[in-house]
């Protein structure tokens, strides 16, 4: 009976985590799309300064992580010094900025699909630079994802979706997404290196360090000279309070979503988190198609299913690998 109660509690905690990640990031995606396509006020102006979202997100997450450290933990002596995040902070500033900027040129569903193909540059770099050999099933996963994204990119986008974009330009939009993935890969590798050197570093300390440097770099980029775009972004928010409110909600969604991701990883592991976030991306595309007026053709839906089939198969392969580990330890 006790085991049954513990199992039920575990299921409820997982459901809580799934609901938190889905609601935070799906709504954040909706706000991101709104800020990139909506015309605000009576003058019908667009919010052109999408890079400002990264600065706002950095500031909110910096404050949030500092509060969490003060409430739930303290900076340990064995944690990574704040200066160690300077290089990862650069790529973590440039990468997301390119991902958001891509929304001026391609639709939100196209951006989500392109950013879901992270395994492609990882496997390319692994094969060409490090000589890593991958299994046939791993190549199947990559083929499904790469094929789905490529076919989606080559298909004609509906005129309704194109009319909402600030500057429709598919090659530039997809190029920015793949550069975003490349920078993300460097950021992840650097973070792994930091946690390997300083194993006592907590998730909140990583969040604090990354967002501290992100805030510094973005402040220099946006306010470092008299005509920096940050001044224009602030002026736009003063003239259009609705946009300022959307930006605040966007940032809070990101901070809350981080909480649920950390909780999921600590309680259920990174594989469970990958599964939840992957399904969240699929639901984001469905929500965007239904609520934001980005209709997809049957062929485009086929491409979406192709990509997420590849991602699901990749999750299954990871699960099988984890299942084999205990057996190897026993033998």
* pLDDT in the model for residue 36: 83
45 strand-pairing partners: 40
304 with 113: CB under 8 angstroms?
yes
Banded model confidence at residue 278, pLDDT cuts 50, 70, 90? confident
Rounded alpha-carbon distances, angstroms, from residue 37 to 183, 190, 262, 311: 25, 34, 31, 28
Q: Across all residues in the chain, what is the average pLDDT?
A: 82
Rg, Å, the chain Cα set: 21
Banded model confidence at residue 75, pLDDT cuts 50, 70, 90? low
User: For the segment 216-259, what is each residue's pLDDT rounded down to a tens digit?
Assistant: 999 998 888 777 788 999 999 999 999 999 999 999 998 898 88
* pLDDT in the model for residue 245: 94
Count of other CB atoms within 10 angstroms of residue 267: 14
* pLDDT in the model for residue 194: 83
* pLDDT in the model for residue 328: 57
252 with 95: CB under 8 angstroms?
no
CA-to-CA distance for 181 and 146, rounded, in angstroms? 14
* pLDDT in the model for residue 242: 92
The helix/strand/coil state of 122 is helix
């Amino acid at each position: 009976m006790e085991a049954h109660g513990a199992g039920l509690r575990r299921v409820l905690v997982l459901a809580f985590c799934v609901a938190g990640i889905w609601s935070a990031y799906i709504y954040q995606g909706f706000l991101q799309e709104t800020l990139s396509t909506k015309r605000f006020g009576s003058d019908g102006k667009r919010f052109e300064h999408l890079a400002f979202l990264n600065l706002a997100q950095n500031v909110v997450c910096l404050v949030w992580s500092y509060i969490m450290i003060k409430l739930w933990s303290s900076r340990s002596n064995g944690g990574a010094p704040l200066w160690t995040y300077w290089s990862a902070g650069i790529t973590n500033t440039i990468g997301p900025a390119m991902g958001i900027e891509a929304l001026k040129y391609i639709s939100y569903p196209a951006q989500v699909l392109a950013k879901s193909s992270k395994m492609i540059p990882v496997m390319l770099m692994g094969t060409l630079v490090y000589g890593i050999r991958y299994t046939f099933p791993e190549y199947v996963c990559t083929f499904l994802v790469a094929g789905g994204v490529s076919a989606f990119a080559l298909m004609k986008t509906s005129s309704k979706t194109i009319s909402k974009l600030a500057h429709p330009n598919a090659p530039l939009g997809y190029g920015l997404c793949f550069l975003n993935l490349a920078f993300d890969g460097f950021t992840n590798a650097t973070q792994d290196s930091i946690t390997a050197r300083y194993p006592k570093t907590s998730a909140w300390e990583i969040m604090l360090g990354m967002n501290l440097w992100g805030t510094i770099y973005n402040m220099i980029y946006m306010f470092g000279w008299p005509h920096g775009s940050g001044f224009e972004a602030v002026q736009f928010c003063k003239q259009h309070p609705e946009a300022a409110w959307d930006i605040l909600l966007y940032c809070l969604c990101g901070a809350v979503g981080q909480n649920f991701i950390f909780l999921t990883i600590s309680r259920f592991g990174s594989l469970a988190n990958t599964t939840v976030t992957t399904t969240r991306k699929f639901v984001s595309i469905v929500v965007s198609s239904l609520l934001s007026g980005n209709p997809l053709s049957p062929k485009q839906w086929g491409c979406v299913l192709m990509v997420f089939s590849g991602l699901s198969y990749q999750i299954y392969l990871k699960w099988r690998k984890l299942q084999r580990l205990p057996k190897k330890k026993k033998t």
